[in-house]
Structures are given as C-alpha cells and as structure tokens.
Structure 1
Amino acid sequence: MPAYRAVERGRGTVVLLIAVILGVTVLDSVSQPELHESSFLGIAPLYAALRCSLRQTFLVAAVYVACLIYVDLFMVVDWGPVNRIVGIFGACLVAAFSLVLCRTRVQREALHARTRLVADTVQRAMLRELPLTAGPVEAYGFYVSAQEGARVGGDIYEAIETPHGLRLMIGDVQGKGMPAIGAGLEVLASFREAAQHVDSLEEVAERMEQALARHNTRSVEQGADERFVTALLMEFRAGSGPLQGRVLSCGHIPYYVLRRGEVQERRDGEGGLPLGLGALGGEPRRSVRVHPEPDDWVVLCTDGVTEARGEDGEFYPLAERLAGWTDLTPAELARTLRADLESFTDGELKDDATALVVRRSPAAAQLSMARAAAA
C-alpha cells in the first residue's frame, strides 16, 4: 500500500471538525457584521492533518474552503473585491498546507512502521519469544527493556536442548543502548554455538569469553567502550537415575529454587568473574554439581529485577514476593511478577529487567520421578 494511503481512522474527529466548521459558519452568518468567527476556522484542517488520513483531511479542508468562500462572498458586506480574493486565497492556502502536512506525516508514519517491522524482526531473531520450550523444559517469563520503544536491550537468555543435555543461560550486559545490544548478540550467538559442540559448561563460558573479547577489540578500534557481561549457565542431563545438573556463574546474581512450597536462594557456582573480565582472575571458572528434584521450579533473573527501586528507595523484595506466590502456575507466576514489579516501580524501570520461571514439563517430571523410584 502506498505510504500516503493511511488506514482510515479518526472518523469521529472528522465529523466533529466538520460540525464545528458548519456551526461557526452559521454563527458568523447571524452575528454582527463586525465579528468574523470564521477567521479562526483554519485550525480545523490543520488539526485534521495531524490526526486523520489524507482522504479525511481533504474532506475537512474542502468543507472549510467552501464555508470560507460562502462567508467571504455573502456575509462580509464591508469587503471590497480585493479583500474577498485575498480571503479566499488565504483559505485555499491553509487547505493546501494542511494536505501537504498530512501527506508528509502519513509518509513518515509509514516509514517508521516499516523500520519498526525490520527492527522487530531482527530483535526477535536475537531473542526468542517467551515462553521457551527446549526438550522437557518450559521457561515462562518476561523481558522489559528500559529503552523506550525497544523490544530488546542488554539482557539475554536462551534454553537449548543439546547432545550434552539441556542448557540454559541468562545474562546481563553492562550498559544500555546499541553498544550493549551488540555485545549481547555476540555472547548469545557464541552460547548457542558452543552449547551444541563442547562438553562442559566451563568450555561454553570460555567460548563466550573469547567472542566478547573479539567484540571488545573491534569496539575499541572504533572508539567505543569495552563491555562485560554477567551470565549464569545451567546444564541438566537425564540418565537412568535422578536428574543431574551443573551451574556456573560468571559474576551473575543468585537464582531461586521453588521446592515444595518453599523458596531457596541459591548461590551455586558463584565466584567466577563476568565475561570480558576473565583475564583479570588467576583462577579458572568452575561449575558445581546440583541435584534438582523433578518438580523443582527455577527462577532466573537479572539485576533489573532485584535492584528495581520503589518510591521509598527500597529494592524489590523478590524472594519475599516469590514466597507468597508458590501456589501459582509458572505462567501465572511470570505474569504476576511482571505486574507487581511495574506496580512497585510505578512503571519507571531504570534498567532492563528479565525473569525466567523454568520447570520440567509435567509429563517429563512424572517420568523422572518414576525412574528415581525404580532406581
């Protein structure tokens, strides 16, 4: 569809504007000759140009010009021919300007819509839409970008079924804006590739570190700043016995386990430096073994959630809130958490906020419990 053919909208606005034009014209015809209320009617087509389609603006402008011609020719008795011509020309000029203004606005809106569509497509390719499904695992949650109008920012997440088990990752890039998005994309792409081909979480983290180091080198050459990324990596492998898992933290905040109605804050695998700062530490990153139960829920988040502040300056009490929502389903928990976070901050998030509620599907959990009982 051509850019200047905007979708018809604002019919109520058009009817109101035409009614105002006709009403003022009638008022002008019955009022004293010294008063010319119709002189202010030029506002009507200009307002239509800002709110209505080109066709609707043309209709308002046409009614405006017709009424002004009527007033100038028959109602203003003290005007000479030159004054009448100037008045009619002025009305036509206002109408023409309104149409040009409307056409320009509609073209810009169409261009913005196309650009937004391309940006949304690129951003969806970067971060998959929630909820995620990877093998036997379901991940519900939300992503809220602190940058107005953006679908993604500096937070990243992924869940992948690989030959080495199910692997999860959540990360938070230092900073905001396009530089943070670029660094996050490099780390995310590296995780997706390495998770499929290397055997250990330590190797996955090392590949992510190398990808970010290359990105930082290019950024410095272009005059931009280096970035670091906090990340939490998880791996779960199913065997004949109980489910086995490993966790590796690259400077990321703790995660939470919901088990039998209780909330546990877990700091497994802490101690590793954020990605991009690994060269500063003398010790390599190490993952630790965890022993999840089949019906556990895992809540992962970024510090945009835990460090969100309310009007009184207090941090968002995530663990306390989760303890009161253990009776909800994962999808309900994710929706409730997002709504409560936005209410707590009055909609003024200062940082990107991401939360994932991860669980095994009910069928997979039952199968795992049966295997554990048989073992």
Structure 2
Amino acid sequence: MAADDEPLSPRAPGNGAVAVGVLVATALVLLAQAASGTSSRLVLLLVFLPALLAGLGTVAQTVAVSVWVSAVVAVYSALYPPADLPARLGTLLGVVAAEAAVIALCARRVRRERQLFRMRQSAVALQRQLLRPLPVRTAELDLFGLYRPVEEDTLIGGDLYDVAETPHGTRVLVGDVQGKGLRAIGTGFAVLSAFREAAFREAELTAVADALEAAVERHNAYAVQSGEPERFVTATVLCVRRGGDVRAVNCGHLAPCLLHPDGRVEAVGLPAGVPLGLAALTGEPRTMERFALPEGGVLVLLTDGITEAQDASGAFYPAEQGLAELAGTPAAELPGALDGCARRWSGGRSRDDVTVLVLRPAR
C-alpha cells in the first residue's frame, strides 16, 4: 500500500528537482526584493511556490516547501520593515494560513489520486479475470491479439474473447455483446464463464455453443427480474487441432478471414446462425463447419469495431482489403497494424469496442 506522501502519478517531480527549483526561485525573488528596495514586499511572492507544487507534488514535498517559505518570510520580516511586532506577526500568520490551506488541498488531491489508482488497479484485476492476457501459446497455435474498449478510460467493454487448451484441441471464442462499454459486462461475463467450463466438458463444438446459449438465456432472465434489458451476443466458437484442422460454429458473428501465405485474403464461408440468446426464435440447431488453416497462413477474427469504422463520407473500412495490404506483416504485429489502419480510416473516431485475434499454427 502506498504511503501518504508517495506519488501515485508519474507527474510528481523528484525531491532533488523540487529542491533545486525552490532554491533558484527563492534566490531570484530575494534578488528582485533587494533591487526594488525594502519598501516593497516581493518576498511574499514565495507563497506561490507551495501552491504550484500542490498540484503536482507529494504532501511531504508541499509541507517542506511551505516550511521553507514560512522561514524565509519570517527571517525577512524580522530584518526589514514593518518594524512593529503586530505587523510582522500578521504577515507571518497570513503566510502560514495560506500554506496550511495549500497543504490541505494537496492532501485532498493525493487522496483522490490514490482512490483513482486503486480503482484502476481493481479494473486491471477484473480485466485479467475476464479477458486472458495476450499473446497465448498452445500446442496447436500461437494467438496474438488486441483489445480496445470504445470508452478509453475503461479497461473492459462489450467485446469478449477467450482461449482454452483442452483435450479436444485449442478452443477459441470471440464475441460482441449487444451494446457497448460497461453496460455489456454482465452478459459478457456470463458467456465467458460458460465457455471456460463447456470448452473442457463438451466433446462437440456445437454443444459448447449450446452451453453459451443457455448462459445468455439465464442471464437475460435475471436481467429482466432486475429491470435491465435483455441482450444478445454475436460469437464465433472455434476448435483448432494439430495440422491446421479448424472447426467453427458461427453465432451471427463476422466471418473469420484467412490470410494465405501468398497474401490472398479469404472470408471463411460459415453459416451465419443466430446470435446467442436468440436461438429460441428459430428452433434450429447450431451447425459446425470445417476448414484448413494452411501452414504459413493466419486466421483473423474481428469484431465490428474494425469493420464499422467510417471515413468522412460514411464509407466503412474494408477489412479484407486492409488485411491484403498488410500481407507479410508478422502475426504478432498484425492486430495493432490493422487497428491502426482502421483508426486512420475513421480519423481516430471509434464507434465500438475493437477486438482483433490472429491465430497462427504452432511452429
């Protein structure tokens, strides 16, 4: 736990820099005071030093500078006019009162920064529980990725992903909860929890998708009881086995893209299916498709934060064309490169959470 005077912000200057700055400022003010004569009170300008430091430094630094300034003013008042004691005491008490107020403001700022720091640490811990840190290496594949919530002051949004190395192969989930930002976290957590259990328990990939469907239905029932809206989730569930054999169940999500070794981009033709939470509307069972992930190629999974990036004319970002232009980019760098292209296309405006996963056969 941080001490009361420990800086929680990288803005806080070091003690050496503070000492040098205060000494230089004091020397300049005293020189100006000497040049202007004893009738002026330029020395009182030193009271602004703690005020400036209170916005950046620690409480201990602010207290130290306040004591220094008070001492300098006290010595000056003892040596120069006003000669009467009440006036000297009044000046000194005014300086001390001002510095006390500055110290109180600094302490309040540090407490607030500490609260924000702890909240962010809690959010980081929550993100690590919800979303697995990337990259991930399993027996079947190397997985690289990027996750960026649309609300950039948060760490968690409406997109979700997970990877599980199971006896059935490496299973991968990518999805997008209806809505965006913090409001979608509850539904996303329900899906991730169900995936982490079903990925190991169920031998068939369609059964994994059915478990996710049941989780969304249960969460929606709870949401209705709590006065929250029901949500659906678009998702793709994959299982990658040795030799590049890929099995996939698509639940209304964007089609994966195969980036071949020769630079060709191929959208994998998967039956769209209905999003998780809406299967009861059709009554049709989930279907699984198989395709090959060639040696030297990569499989790219996206959410619509990439494909719905719009330029000034309203045109959507052509993700497949963007991938083709990025052919030859190392798999580890591809997620960031694709996101950068989409952001440049949209002029830096983000409409939705962004997730990019790149799956490369294990070497």
SS at match of 2:152: coil
Q: Which residue of 2 aligns with 1:226?
A: 230
State the Cα deviation string for residues 169-211 of structure 1 (Å, max 9, x = none).
1101122333311211110111111111112222211111111
Check 1:191–1:67 CA distance in 2 against 1; reply closer, same or farther (3 A cut): same
1:156 and 1:189 map into 2 onto residues whose CA distance is: 11
Does structure 1 conserve the Cα–Cα contact (< 8 Å) formed by 2:46 and 2:69?
Answer: yes
Partner SS state of residue 275, structure 1: coil
Retained in 2: the 8 A contact 1:155–1:173?
A: yes
Whether the 8 Å CA contact 2:29–2:45 is kept in 1: the answer is no
Asked whether the equivalents of residues 255 and 301 of structure 1 are also in contact (C-alpha less than 8 Å), the reply is yes
Please give the secondary structure, in 1, of the residue aligned with 2:239. Answer: strand
Q: Is the 8 Å Cα contact of residues 134 and 159 (structure 1) preserved in structure 2? A: no
Partner residue of 2:28? 23
Shift of 1:261: 1.8
Name the structure 1 match of 2:199: 195
Matches of 1:327 and 1:33, distance apart in 2: 74
Query: What TM-score do you get using the length of structure 2 for normalisation?
Result: 0.89
The answer as to whether partners of 2:141 and 2:240 remain within 8 angstroms in 1 is: no
Indicate yes or no: 2:266 matched with 1:262.
no
Kindly indicate whether the alpha-carbon contact (under 8 Å) linking 2:258 and 2:297 is maintained by their aligned counterparts in 1: yes
> Where does the alignment leave 5 or more consecutive residues of structure 2 unmatched?
none
The root-mean-square deviation of aligned C-alpha atoms, in Å, is 2.4
What's 1:3 paired with? 3
| Counterpart position of 1:136 | 140
Aligned match of 1:45: 50
| CA spacing shift, 1:42–1:222, aligned 2, 3 Å | farther
Secondary structure of the 2:332 match is helix
| Cα distance in structure 2, aligned partners of 1:155 and 1:263 | 27
| Corresponding residue for residue 183 of structure 1 | 187
Contact 2:309–2:343 under 8 Å retained in 1: no
8 Å contact from structure 1 (residues 3, 107) kept in 2 = no
Q: Deviations over 1:121-142 (max 9, x none)?
A: 2211211111112322111121
**1:166 aligns to what SS in structure 2?**
strand
Taking the aligned partners of 1:164 and 1:235, their CA distance within structure 2 comes to 8
Please state whether the residue corresponding to 1:315 is helix, strand or coil: coil
TM-score normalised by L of structure 1? 0.87
Partner of 2:74: 69
Which whole-Å deviations, capped at 9, do the CAs of 1:251-308 have from their partners, x for residues lacking one? 1112210113233342532331111222222423222232333333101010011112
Q: CA shift at 1:156, angstroms?
A: 1.0
Classify the secondary structure of the residue corresponding to 1:42. helix
User: Structure 1 vs Structure 2: percent identity of aligned residues?
Assistant: 34
1:80 is displaced (CA, Å) by 4.5
Q: Are 1:161 and 2:161 an aligned pair? A: no
